[in-house]
Structure 1
């Protein structure tokens, strides 16, 4: 009996012997996604919740379908978010992606990973530019909580020839259907929310279900030669688009506070520069100096006052004014006979020197770092009066702890490579890892080592 490989949706089957595709319609189940796989002996596919209530061709990402664009605006207006998100990407990427075999385990239970060089794999890595794929994929995960790798097949569909990733901000799912594990397509455009599926600037790419037999589903799929294999960090209660955990800082109001402080201080600086002194001139001064003051035209009075102010500014402004004296003229009030000061000069209080709102800025920054799950000592000086970069020991411990808690993020980015391995017939014991640079104390001969264990800070440590 000839074996057939069934797609995860139960609508297609692939015959390895003849290389033919078979459309099954609804023969294997009443609802798409309910059928199992003869390759594994499963009686049914995993359940997939679908959110109802939307209409049209695109599943909206945010109410106006511009949520990623709004996130980018928030990032671009903050001094911490862009650099820390980039730092997280660089730190988790580490020494990049390598492949090899696990040949055993040491006494502590850590993998003994032996790197390999296989011609087919080397060619695939070069054609796909895997370093770029991995870095951009991590960047998408940390920014949006999801990533959209794209697999390219050969013309005869026997091999996957390249792996790339799309910018998550440019991707929108098609509208999911009831019982469907994933939408049929991802629509890719740089023009959301105005873009529409089918226009000349939008590309629609079929989607694979990453949760259920993607290799068999890809072999049976005849929709084209490129497919999106979606990745996402789980976000509770989100059926389609996931939400990066750091987005809580946008909704909490702390990001608004962090942005409001520099805007206020910018305005304060501008005002402090333009209003440094308050000069009060008594009305009697002008009549004392110019007996015909009341008869002078308004324009001439303005010119005279302007000339007097210009002389004052020459005396008070710039380095040339330092150390100069000011003559304070006293005249007699003709009405009362009392002496009065012709001029009164008051320096405007410099609020900037007092460090106004420094504490608020520091608190807002602390909330942002917490939302990003990054110890501030790892990326530089923490804003505020008590500025400090932290000790070397603090940095070492914080960095190793950071790396050790991001194994899942690395595994997620590597997941499509395992699909490629199985589809292309590479050795089934071939493993993929990120090289993780780990910080050591000064008494260790090597200032840092690279571990291919995917985030175990104790691996490869000296005994």
Structure 2
């Protein structure tokens, strides 16, 4: 039954799904038909990863990988820039002039912005998007469905796509905070629409079916994947480079714990004790002799360790061996070389860190002043400035997806169409060009 132009209801009266046969199809999900197999979770949810726990397992590994944590922070910070800002375009005979506007200039937008803490919601969605290249904003509607009154982030790791219908379209997502111990009663079903479906059509369908909340996933274009995007920079987690980074600290720790951690090796000749104690030495019992040796070692140890040992001298007599005539040192102290200070495996760690950041598209100079492993790399101000500029130049192709959230709300609520959102960024410059060393750039 056609309920609006290009929208057809399927199933019974309680079926809150839609199949879109209009010319604007969902490029993300309508290009495949998944087979209903035993691999589905509870027979209806598409697993994310072989065991359906890919995001959870990835996040656990990520938080142990310092360089990836730092790189991800750079990506999210660059994407968000200085925060969500409103701009308005005015067309003249010569050109289109864009100027920044205060949110307060538009009462309806300002009320929504402050009520929903829109900036914070966007930071959360951007974090999910930069981590998994998919995020799930949930739009909440007014009782009559005429307005979007709020938007919030559903944690991406908790979401799973429903198996496609016979037309190859995904109609819902399931939200569950514990997929490892799945229970149907703990799974919330939320209607899901494709990003390229016109907002007016979604609005008409939601009114007809009484839908008051839904999601339009912010998702990367799929290449050969069928449902969840394959994130490019996750390659270093799959090909072993991250394992290299994580194994080196564990190896170093084990080496520190298991090796003999001895600073000095002390040699003491029995001639020394014969000289000090004279004929009494021959009268001491073996136990008394050992006690005297221990007392001497403790005395030397106390005088060698700590700051108080600085500049001190130890006097040790020389003796002449009665048989060979050679000199014998009464006390000899040798320093034991410390093997853990040789920098083993740091070059391997450096190569692994570089591979991780290369996949992320983050220049190492943005998170460190020099190269990993102690070798000096270029970390000058100009290197950082150019690296940041290049990174920001790549952002529009990603920002256009997260900014679509504002566009969806704007169209649904009938706000001024000449107003649009942007994430301006700070472009570092030199003091001769700007006294504060920075300027705002809008991509």
TM-score (normalised: structure 2) = 0.80
Find the counterpart in structure 2 of residue 16 from structure 1: none
Find the counterpart in structure 2 of residue 124 from structure 1: 112
State yes or no: 1:80 paired with 2:56: no
Structure 1 residue 284: Cα displacement: 10
Partner Cα separation in structure 2 for residue 121 and residue 321 of structure 1: 71
Q: 1:259 aligns with which of 246, 249, 254?
A: 246
Q: How does 1:279-428 map to 2 (within 5 A)?
A: 279=266, 307=295, 309-322=297-310, 323-325=312-314, 327=316, 345-382=333-370, 383-387=372-376, 390-428=379-417
Asked if structure 2 preserves the Cα contact closer than 8 Å seen for 1:12 and 1:24, the reply is: no
State yes or no: 1:209 paired with 2:208: no
State yes or no: 1:58 paired with 2:28: no
Change (3 A) 1:239 1:44: closer
State yes or no: 1:450 paired with 2:437: no
Structure 1 residue 59: Cα displacement: 2.2
Asked if structure 2 preserves the Cα contact closer than 8 Å seen for 1:128 and 1:163, the reply is: yes
Find the counterpart in structure 2 of residue 48 from structure 1: 31
Partner Cα separation in structure 1 for residue 434 and residue 10 of structure 2: 58
Partner Cα separation in structure 1 for residue 417 and residue 335 of structure 2: 79
Asked if structure 2 preserves the Cα contact closer than 8 Å seen for 1:246 and 1:372, the reply is: yes
Find the counterpart in structure 2 of residue 103 from structure 1: 90
Change (3 A) 1:251 1:402: same
Change (3 A) 1:213 1:437: same
Structure 1 residue 155: Cα displacement: 1.3
Match of 2:127, SS? helix
Match of 1:423, SS? helix
Structure 1 residue 138: Cα displacement: 1.4
RCO greater where, 1 or 2, for CA within 8 Å and sep 6 or more? 2
Q: Which region of structure 1 is more displaced relative to structure 2, 358-367 or 154-163?
A: 358-367
Structure 1 residue 123: Cα displacement: 1.1
Q: Which region of structure 1 is more displaced relative to structure 2, 426-435 or 301-310?
A: 301-310
Partner Cα separation in structure 2 for residue 183 and residue 283 of structure 1: 89
Q: How does 1:131-280 map to 2 (within 5 A)?
A: 131-189=119-177, 191-199=178-186, 202-221=187-206, 222=209, 224-270=211-257, 274-279=261-266
Partner Cα separation in structure 2 for residue 434 and residue 49 of structure 1: 33
Asked if structure 2 preserves the Cα contact closer than 8 Å seen for 1:32 and 1:180, the reply is: no
Q: Which runs of 5+ in 1 are unaligned?
A: 14-21, 26-30, 456-463
Find the counterpart in structure 2 of residue 19 from structure 1: none
State yes or no: 1:434 paired with 2:417: no
Change (3 A) 1:339 1:396: closer
| Partner deviation per Cα, 1:355-401 (whole Å, 9 max, x = no partner) | 33332332222222212211122233132333356232222222222
Change (3 A) 1:317 1:5: same
Q: Which runs of 5+ in 2 are unaligned?
A: none
Structure 1 residue 404: Cα displacement: 1.3
Asked if structure 2 preserves the Cα contact closer than 8 Å seen for 1:333 and 1:339, the reply is: no
Structure 1 residue 293: Cα displacement: 8.9
Asked if structure 1 preserves the Cα contact closer than 8 Å seen for 2:10 and 2:18, the reply is: no
Partner Cα separation in structure 2 for residue 278 and residue 306 of structure 1: 14
Change (3 A) 1:215 1:304: farther
Structure 1 residue 318: Cα displacement: 2.0
Change (3 A) 1:443 1:305: same
Partner Cα separation in structure 1 for residue 160 and residue 233 of structure 2: 21
CA RMSD in angstroms comes to: 3.8
Asked if structure 2 preserves the Cα contact closer than 8 Å seen for 1:77 and 1:259, the reply is: yes
Partner Cα separation in structure 2 for residue 437 and residue 242 of structure 1: 30
Partner Cα separation in structure 1 for residue 233 and residue 273 of structure 2: 64
TM-score (normalised: structure 1) = 0.77
Match of 2:87, SS? strand
Q: Which region of structure 1 is more displaced relative to structure 2, 429-438 or 139-148?
A: 429-438
Asked if structure 1 preserves the Cα contact closer than 8 Å seen for 2:90 and 2:96, the reply is: no
Greater fraction of residues in helix: 2
Asked if structure 2 preserves the Cα contact closer than 8 Å seen for 1:235 and 1:244, the reply is: no
Match of 2:185, SS? coil
